[in-house]
């Protein structure tokens, strides 16, 4: 059986998540990156193709050019992965679905809730596979914790606490990766909450198997002059349990970690990574 052929949207020179998607996709040798619109700048898109060791003729300047050229090839792309900043997720996904291509996109789904509702409607109408990457759900320890809770090893879940602190944005946002994350025009309405808070939220539901029914969020910015949140605390109410989520990009930490704690009637489990 041949590998699935992936086209990438974003992931140009200096990008962080583009190479991560490429590594993860190709890890089991079932997918290969063959084409992309790696940058809105044609020259940078070519430079990215060289770094990814893909055919420079398949480094396209626009989405329209990629979809048209790949449709005409016998070995055209099978799906796209979107790794561009948040504000581009909806237009890129809309264009790919219109071209008849399944989509895998980086989180968050879109820059705003209204855009998310629009995209959900587009996916339903297209009837094509669509996924959002939450990398931690693939970790063996996370899968094991989820399986044990589902099997009742901890008893009934009563309390869930999840946190994801980072320190790399504790000061001035300098550099490509930092600058767009604190810019509402590119990041959307959420800063830290949309960047890493969504991982904490996903871990809480994924590991526990419970769905959040209510929430109360305090989204603040502690770095002077910052337009988006960098320190977030959220009270959560699940169907059958209470909990909280904490996400921060402003801690003076040397590294980052994510942890989820589930307190149950028979035991307690904690996952840290």
pLDDT of residue 135: 87
Q: What strands, in cross-sheet order, belong to the sheet with 31-37?
A: 31-37, 4-9, 79-82, 103-106, 130-133
pTM flag (> 0.85): yes
Is pLDDT above 70 for 112?
Answer: yes
- What does the mean pLDDT of the chain come to? 91
- Over residues 151-173, the mean pLDDT reads 90
- Helix, strand or coil, per DSSP, at residue 201: helix
pLDDT of residue 263: 65
Is pLDDT above 80 for 186?
Answer: yes
Q: What percent of the chain has pLDDT over 70?
A: 92
With tokens 């989204």, the residue in question is 219
- Over residues 5-33, the mean pLDDT reads 93
pLDDT of residue 252: 61
Is pLDDT above 90 for 38?
Answer: yes
- Helix, strand or coil, per DSSP, at residue 263: strand
- Over residues 92-97, the mean pLDDT reads 98
| Alpha carbons 42 and 39: distance in angstroms, whole number | 7
Return the H-helix or E-strand segment holding 200.
Answer: helix 198-208
| Alpha carbons 219 and 54: distance in angstroms, whole number | 41
Q: What strands, in cross-sheet order, belong to the sheet with 212-220?
A: 212-220, 231-238, 241-248, 157-165, 259-264, 268-272
Is the separation of the CB atoms in 105 and 82 below 8 Å? yes
pLDDT of residue 257: 53
Highest mean pLDDT: which range of 1-15, 167-181, 251-265: 1-15
- 127 φψ region: left (φ > 0), alpha (ψ -120 to 50), beta (else): left
- Helix, strand or coil, per DSSP, at residue 246: strand
| Alpha carbons 127 and 254: distance in angstroms, whole number | 44
């Amino acid at each position: 059986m041949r590998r699935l052929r992936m086209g990438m949207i974003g992931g140009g020179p200096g990008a962080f998540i583009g190479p991560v998607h490429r590594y993860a996709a190709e890890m089991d040798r079932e997918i290969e990156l063959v084409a992309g619109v790696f940058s809105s700048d044609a020259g940078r898109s070519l430079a990215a193709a060289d770094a990814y060791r893909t055919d420079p003729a398949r480094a396209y300047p626009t989405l329209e050019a990629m979809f048209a050229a790949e449709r005409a090839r016998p070995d055209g792309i099978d799906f796209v992965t979107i790794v561009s900043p948040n504000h581009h997720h909806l237009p890129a996904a809309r264009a790919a679905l219109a071209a008849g291509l399944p989509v895998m996109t980086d989180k968050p789904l879109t820059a705003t809730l209204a855009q998310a509702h629009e995209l959900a409607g587009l996916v339903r109408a297209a009837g094509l596979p669509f996924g959002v990457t939450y990398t931690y759900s693939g970790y063996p320890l996370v899968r094991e914790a989820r399986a044990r809770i589902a099997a009742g090893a901890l008893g009934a879940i009563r309390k869930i606490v999840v946190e994801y602190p980072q320190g790399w944005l504790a000061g001035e946002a300098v550099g490509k990766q930092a600058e767009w994350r604190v810019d509402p025009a590119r990041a959307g309405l959420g800063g830290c909450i949309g960047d890493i808070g969504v991982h904490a939220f996903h871990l809480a539901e994924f590991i526990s198997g419970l769905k959040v029914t209510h929430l109360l969020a305090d989204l603040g910015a502690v770095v002077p002059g910052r337009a988006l949140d960098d320190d977030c605390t959220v009270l959560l109410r699940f169907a059958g349990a209470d909990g909280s989520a904490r996400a921060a990009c402003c801690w003076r930490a040397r590294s980052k970690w994510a942890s989820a704690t589930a307190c149950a009637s028979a035991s307690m489990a904690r996952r840290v990574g």
